[in-house]
Amino acid sequence: MIKILIFMMLLVSSTYAENNKEPLFKVITEVSGNDLKVKALAVNQRKINNKARLERAEPTYITSFIASVDGKVVYEVFVAPSVSKNPLFKFKIKDGTKNKLLNFKLINNKNQRENQTFKINKLDRKSFPISNIKIDHIDDESKMIKVFEKSSLEEVIKYLYGTTESILGDINLDIMNDNIINGKFIIYFKSSIDFESIGVFTDNSSRAAIAYFKVPKNEIIDYAIGVDHKWNECHIKVPIIIVGKSRDGKLHKAIKEVNYIGCSTEETLK
């Protein structure tokens, strides 16, 4: 039985190599009841980051990521450049076990869209691409680009929601480590509130917005996102702030303070 499994895995690997289906993401899925947990690491973006650094070229970074199942959008997020340095996305799909194909779209700052479909493999939790990476050009998401150019926390929240008045909501917010060294960390949050959008922000930084999620109706809010963010000062307490707009028009928020340590003056974001 083991020999058969090994042969099948080698056969699958050989088939993908022959078809040159390089992965846009490394995808790990896990069944949770009737739902499907998805972790997606943008391995292709990491290659792009490394190549630009070696060639001292203009950086290409992710501006948005969309996941869909059978043509239905289940996850959509717009992100600051800091996310491209640690491009990890985690989410949960309702009734995901009934579906076997995931489509991912990455859009970058050069208005290019990378598109690839993956097949969920429940046996070893790894999902393999079943199509080549397709690249095309799209219209500029100008409003969202402006969001990530603003340094004032109050200004960016008002720009997105029209007001800064919010209430402490039922949002479970956590950070992978309370001590952020050199800016790299993972933000986890979940909520049962019926949100239509959720923003992730910080303060004392040249960019206040980290990510902005459009929440598809009736989907589960159980998210995590990787970030490599720099603040204006070192060895300080910094806030990670979630502000979400529920479908009844109310703003809800959650705040967690963490220690930003281990940076140098040269590392702060200009």
Are the C-beta atoms of 104 and 40 separated by less than 8 Å?
yes
Once rounded to an integer, what is the mean pLDDT over residues 199-219?
92
- Domain at 150-270: CATH architecture: Sandwich (2.60)
Strand partners, 118: 102, 129
**Residue of 54, 56, 106, 62 whose CA lies nearest to 81:** 62
Instruction: Classify residue 75 as exposed, middle or buried by CB count within 10 Å of its CB (0-12, 13-18, 19+).
Output: buried
Of the ranges 42-51, 85-94, 145-154, 242-251, which one carries the lowest mean pLDDT score?
42-51
User: CB within 8 A of 194, min separation 6: which ones?
Assistant: 246, 247, 248
User: What is the 3-state composition of the chain as percent helix, strand, coil, each rounded to the nearest 5?
Assistant: 20, 45, 35
Domain 20-140 has CATH 3.30.70.20: no
User: Residue written as tokens 């040159």?
Assistant: 20
For 79-105, letters b (16+ CB in 10 Å) and e give bbbbbbbbbbbbbbbeebeeeeebbbb
Q: Which residues contact 41 (CB under 8 A, 6 or more apart)?
A: 25, 26, 27, 87, 88, 89, 226
Q: What's the pLDDT at 95?
A: 75
Domain extents in the chain: 20-140, 150-270
Within 13 A of 193's CA, how many CA atoms are on the CB side? 26
Residue 74, amino acid = V
Quote the pLDDT of residue 251: 95
Residue for token pair 């340094």:
151
Lowest mean pLDDT among 27-41, 88-102, 119-133, 188-202: 119-133
Burial of 168: CB neighbours in 10 Å, binned 0-12, 13-18, 19+:
exposed
The structure tokens 């009734």 sit at 95
| Predicted confidence (pLDDT) at residue 65 exceeds the cutoff of 50 | yes
- Span 77-83, mean pLDDT? 89
Residue 212 pLDDT greater than 90, yes or no? yes
4 — pLDDT class (breaks 50, 70, 90): very low
User: What local confidence, expressed as pLDDT, does residue 107 receive?
Assistant: 87
- Kind and range of the H or E element at 225? strand 221-228
- pLDDT at position 136 is 64
Minimum mean pLDDT among 14-28, 183-197, 239-253: which range? 14-28
Q: Do domains 20-140 and 150-270 have the same CATH topology?
A: yes
What does the pLDDT average to over 223-242? Answer: 88
pLDDT at 270: 33
Which distant-in-sequence residues (6+ apart) come within 8 Å of 96 by Cβ?
A: 29, 31, 34, 35, 36, 38, 69
